[in-house]
């Protein structure tokens, strides 16, 4: 199997998995509420799930490097997700639903470093930027289709969560079947990278040595640009509270932002392979542009800001991951992906808190602070380029 076919098939797996878990996440709040959860419980459970999805990668990443069981961890993580979601529809009691919501996110934590490492080997042959970009674009198709599928079933059944979540078992089964098939066809994706570099597998000490200094500088750059990144929750809060959009239009805008995400991932992925990390200069610029536009009181400008948010997300989810693979040797790559996810998780929490807090205090102050943080991010990006010369 050629490397591009591997990337596309893995992207198809991610597409189907996104149909499952993004479909479930689109109704997690009202589902828990229907079982008696308060807003506090919903916030705690979903927050704990998101934290688990990122922080636990600090464990699953080094575990993948140490055991080299990338396929096993990827399949196990996907299995936990696709089993947890349909069970949500028949859980019936609040505590069980809460456990399943968190379990789905734990599945993502288990699989992600291993999955990204498997992809990194194939993208060594296809081009890191383009390979990760195609995978992200396919992934986002699922992120759009899943919530729309759930919404359609809810409409047909009069708001019955059981069938809406139960139907997600079908793409979930397809995920597992495709994973086993792909592992049988390509049990050792690292062969793609060995053939591309025309070198032997990584030496044993490459698995235990320190991560390159450039990786840590890159992590600092990512932390800075993510800390200034407003969440869609804050953006949609502004749109509804200022009566710029009705609540019903917010999911439509989110779907449009996800479409922009896919296009931005493909564009910047191609540019990354052609021009290298300098392409990442777009991310701090877009991040600053989000707060400058999205918190306007003019509908068109605020909507444009949300679409810029989608473009920045596309770079975050594709080109940032591609750069990690270029900075870190194969033997330490899963560890690096786990640490990188931990940094992104902490910065995302800081960013949501910062932008949400400053929004309530002063929008001009919010814009000023975010722009200042993005200037710092640009400085760190310049340092990375200097370190790689």
Distance CA 85, CA 167 (A): 10
Predicted pLDDT of residue 313: 87
pLDDT at 21 over 70: yes
> Token digits for 241?
């509270």
Distance CA 264, CA 254 (A): 15
Predicted pLDDT of residue 317: 80
Predicted pLDDT of residue 200: 42
Helix, strand counts (H, E) of the chain: 18, 0
Q: What is the pTM of this model?
A: 0.75
Predicted pLDDT of residue 209: 63
Predicted pLDDT of residue 349: 73
pLDDT at 202 over 50: no
pLDDT at 199 over 50: no
What integer is the mean pLDDT of 76-81? 95
Q: Could you tell me the pLDDT band of residue 80, with boundaries at 50, 70 and 90?
A: very high
- Interval 252-311: pLDDT, tens: 787 788 888 888 988 988 888 888 888 889 999 999 999 999 888 999 999 999 899 989
Q: Could you tell me the pLDDT band of residue 163, with boundaries at 50, 70 and 90?
A: very high
Residue 362: is it exposed, middle or buried by C-beta count within 10 angstroms (0-12/13-18/19+)?
A: exposed
Predicted pLDDT of residue 118: 92
Closest to 75 measured CA to CA, from 212, 156, 178, 207: 178
Q: From the CB of residue 241, how many other CB atoms can be counted at a distance below 10 Å?
A: 9
Predicted pLDDT of residue 71: 95
Q: Could you tell me the pLDDT band of residue 4, with boundaries at 50, 70 and 90?
A: very high
The answer to whether the beta carbons of residues 37 and 93 sit under 8 Å apart is no
Phi, psi at 298, each rounded to 5°: -100, 125
pLDDT at 15 over 90: yes
Predicted pLDDT of residue 312: 92
What integer is the mean pLDDT of 218-226? 89
pLDDT at 179 over 90: yes
The top-scoring range by mean pLDDT among 21-25, 247-251, 279-283, 385-389 is 279-283
What integer is the mean pLDDT of 345-360? 78
Least confident of 154-163, 196-205, 277-286, 333-342: 196-205
The answer to whether the beta carbons of residues 318 and 265 sit under 8 Å apart is yes
Q: Could you tell me the pLDDT band of residue 160, with boundaries at 50, 70 and 90?
A: confident
Distance CA 80, CA 107 (A): 5
Least confident of 29-33, 173-177, 201-205: 201-205
- Interval 37-62: pLDDT, tens: 876 777 677 767 766 777 788 888 88
Does residue 360 or residue 14 have the better pLDDT? Answer: 14
Distances (CA, A) of 199 to 105, 211, 254, 367, 375: 37, 20, 45, 48, 39
pLDDT at 327 over 80: yes
Q: Could you tell me the pLDDT band of residue 198, with boundaries at 50, 70 and 90?
A: low
Does residue 33 or residue 84 have the better pLDDT? Answer: 84
Least confident of 31-35, 207-211, 217-221: 207-211
Predicted pLDDT of residue 201: 45
Q: Mean pLDDT for the chain?
A: 85
């Amino acid at each position: 199997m050629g490397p591009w076919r591997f990337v596309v098939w893995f992207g198809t797996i991610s597409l189907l998995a996104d149909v499952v878990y993004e479909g479930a996440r689109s109704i997690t709040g009202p589902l828990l509420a229907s079982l008696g959860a308060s807003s506090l419980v919903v916030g705690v459970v979903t927050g704990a799930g998101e934290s688990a999805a990122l922080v636990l990668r600090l464990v699953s990443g080094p575990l993948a490097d140490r055991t080299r069981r990338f396929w096993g961890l990827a399949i196990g993580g996907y299995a936990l997700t696709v089993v947890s979601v349909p069970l949500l529809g028949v859980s019936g009691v609040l505590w069980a639903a809460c456990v399943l919501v968190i379990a789905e996110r734990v599945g993502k934590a288990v699989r992600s470093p291993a999955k990204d490492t498997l992809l990194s080997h194939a993208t060594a042959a296809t081009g890191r930027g383009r390979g990760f970009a195609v995978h992200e674009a396919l992934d986002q198709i699922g992120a759009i289709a899943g919530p729309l599928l759930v919404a359609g079933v809810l409409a047909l059944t009069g708001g019955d969560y059981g069938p809406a979540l139960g139907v997600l078992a079908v793409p979930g089964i397809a995920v597992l079947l495709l994973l086993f098939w792909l592992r049988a066809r390509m049990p050792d994706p690292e062969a793609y990278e060995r053939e591309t570099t025309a070198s032997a597998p990584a030496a044993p000490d490459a698995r235990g040595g320190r991560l390159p200094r450039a990786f840590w500088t890159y992590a600092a750059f990512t932390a800075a640009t993510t800390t200034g990144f407003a969440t869609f929750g804050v953006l949609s809060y502004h749109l509804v509270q200022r009566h710029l959009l009705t609540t019903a239009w917010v999911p439509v805008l989110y779907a449009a932002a996800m479409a922009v995400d896919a296009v931005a991932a493909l564009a910047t992925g191609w540019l990354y392979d052609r021009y290298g990390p300098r392409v990442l200069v777009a991310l701090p610029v877009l991040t600053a542009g989000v707060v400058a536009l999205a918190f306007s009181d003019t509908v068109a400008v605020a909507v444009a800001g949300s679409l810029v948010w989608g473009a920045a997300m596309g770079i975050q989810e594709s080109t940032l991951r591609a750069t990690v693979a270029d900075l870190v040797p194969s033997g330490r790559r899963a560890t690096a992906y786990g640490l990188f996810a931990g940094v992104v998780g902490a910065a995302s929490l800081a960013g949501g808190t910062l932008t949400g807090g400053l929004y309530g205090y002063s929008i001009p102050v919010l814009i000023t602070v975010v722009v200042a943080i993005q200037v710092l991010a640009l400085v760190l990006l310049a340092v990375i380029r200097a370190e790689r010369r």
